[in-house]
Structure 1
Amino acid sequence: MGETTEIYDLRGLNCPLPVLKAKRRLADMSSGELLWLETTDPLAVIDIPAFCQEAGHRLIETTAVSGGHRFLVERGS
């Protein structure tokens, strides 16, 4: 994980909040910027990849972490 890559803490939020908040955060970023999304919602493993595909962002990595998942997303154009 790069030092400059931010971690957006979405733990404790349930569907659809992780996707809605990620969408808002990514909208303020430049194309190609990276963002880690950290979630505890079990549905995030379905919702985050689907959101990335629909919105044109690239899901680079999905990692299981204690109590949830972490997703590395590259902002699309």
Structure 2
Amino acid sequence: MGSDVTLYIGPETAYRKFRFTDANEWESIRSQVAAAMDAGKGLIKIPWKGDTVVFVYSPYLMVSWVEKRPE
């Protein structure tokens, strides 16, 4: 099953945008985001161009995503 998700982290004027097309990779990231949100704090680690981008989640860090429906 495919996936097409765009993740936005940060405020609207200065967000970072990540795109995921692999369902397993997205589920790994989504579970980190959900765990951090449930705890009210935590790390979100996102593989990006051979590196890892780490965000420190707090209630002030805006996180949203758009999941495209399969056609």
- TM-score, scaled to structure 1: 0.28
Q: Which of these two proteins has the greater Rg computed from alpha carbons?
A: 2
Q: Which has the higher helix share?
A: 1
Q: Which has the higher strand share?
A: 2
